[in-house]
Amino acid sequence: MNEIWVEKYRPAKLDDVVGQEHVVKSLKAYAKSGSIPHMLFAGPAGVGKTTCAIALAKEFYGDTWRENFEELNASDERGLEVVRGRIKNFARTAPIGNAPFKIIFLDEADALTPDAQAALRRTMEKYTSTCRFILSCNYSSRIIEPIQSRCVVFRFSPISNEDMKNYLEKIAKNEGIEITEDGIKSILYISNGDMRRAINVLQVTASVSDKIDGETVYKMTSVARPEDAKKLIEMAIKGDFINARKILDKMIIEDGLSGEDIIKGLHNAIIDAPIKEEEKAKIIDKMGETEFRIVEGSNDRIQIEALISYLVAMRKS
C-alpha cells in the first residue's frame, strides 16, 4: 500500500467534487467564460478547497495547468519575504501558452502575518493582468478586510454523511475492501465532515484488516467510542463513581486513549445526556477547564477523575 489514497482519489474534474455543489457551479461558469476573479475559499479542513482550486486549474488551462498554476502553503512561509519574493516573481511573469493569466493558490492564507497580507494586497492589485489569486483559509476573519473586498468569497461547508458514505464505499470497492455499516458509521463519526480525515482513517484501518468494522476503526484511531463515553456520563450523573471510574480505566488502559481524546468523547456524549440544559452548560464549562489543565501538563487521570467527581457531586446536590 504505497499510494496515499487522499491523493489517489482526489477528484480531477470539478464534476467529480462532492458536497460543494454551490461552489462547483460557480467555478464551472468561471472556467467556461474564460474569466476568473480573485477568490477566497473559506471553510473547515478536508472539505475540498484545495481540490476545487486544482480542478479549476485543470479545467481552465488543460495540459498546461502545471506551468500556469503555483501552489504555496502560507503556514510554511508566513512573512513579507515570501510575498515580495516567490509570489511576486511568479505573478509578474507572463503565462505559458495561450493562457490569459496565471493562478497562484495560497493555501492556509490565514497564517500570513498582517504585514505579509498588506503586501499581498498590493501585489494582487498590481499584477491583475498576468495573475489571479485563490486564497484558502479555515477562518476568513483572519484575512484582512482589504483582501476580502478584492475577492469573491466562497464558503465551504462540511461534507454531508451521505456524500461521504458514497465516496468511502466507492474507494472500498476499488481497493477490494469489505466495510461494514458499523465501520462506515464509525468513520463518519470520527471524521465529522472532514473527507480527508475519513479517507486517511479508511486507509490506515485497511492496512491491518481486509474487513473494516467499528471495533477496528476505533482501535486504530484512538478515538473514544460514543457508547463508552455515553455510559461513563450516565454512571457519573447517577452518582455511581466507582463504575464510572472503571469505564475510565478501560478507556485509558485498554483503548490507550489520552485525556484529550476522552474529553472530546465526553463532550459529544453530554449533549444527549438526560439532564437539564442548565446542568449541561455547567458540565461543558467544567470540561473546558479540565481540558485546559490537561493541555497545560496536568495528569490526565487525575483531571478526568476530578471531572467525574464533579458530575457525581452535582447530581447528589
Which burial class, exposed, middle or buried, applies to 7 when counting CB atoms under 10 A from its CB (0-12, 13-18, 19+)? exposed
Measure the CA–CA gap between 115 and 123, rounded to whole angstroms. 13
Phi, psi angle pair for 199, to nearest 5°: -70, -40
125: Cα within 13 Å, side-chain hemisphere: 10
pLDDT tier, 317 (very low <50, low <70, confident <90, very high otherwise): low
47, 107, 122, 164, 293 from 298: Cα distances, Å: 34, 35, 47, 37, 6
Identify whether the C-beta of residue 290 lies closer than 8 Å to the C-beta of residue 263: yes
Q: What is the pLDDT of residue 78?
A: 60
pLDDT tier, 145 (very low <50, low <70, confident <90, very high otherwise): very high
**Tens digits of residue pLDDT in 61-101:** 888 888 889 888 766 666 566 667 777 888 888 888 788 89
Closest CA to 248 of 228, 269, 227, 268: 228
Q: What percent of the chain has pLDDT over 70?
A: 96
Q: What is the pLDDT of residue 79?
A: 59
Count CB atoms within 10 A of the CB of residue 17. 19
Alpha-carbon torsion, ordered 189, 155, 288, 186, to 10 deg: 0
Can you list the domains of the chain with their CATH numbers?
Answer: 5-155 (3.40.50.300), 161-221 (1.10.8.60), 226-316 (1.20.272.10)
Q: What is the pLDDT of residue 316?
A: 67
Q: What is the pLDDT of residue 71?
A: 86
Measure the CA–CA gap between 28 and 22, rounded to whole angstroms. 10
pLDDT of residue 125 exceeding 90, the answer is no
| Residue range 171-179: mean pLDDT, rounded | 89
User: Which DSSP string corresponds to 196-223?
Assistant: HHHHHHHHHHHTT-SEE-HHHHHHHHT-
Q: What is the pTM for the complete model shown?
A: 0.80
pLDDT of residue 1 exceeding 60, the answer is no
Q: What is the pLDDT of residue 225?
A: 85
**Tens digits of residue pLDDT in 208-256:** 888 888 888 888 887 888 888 899 988 888 888 999 999 999 888 888 8
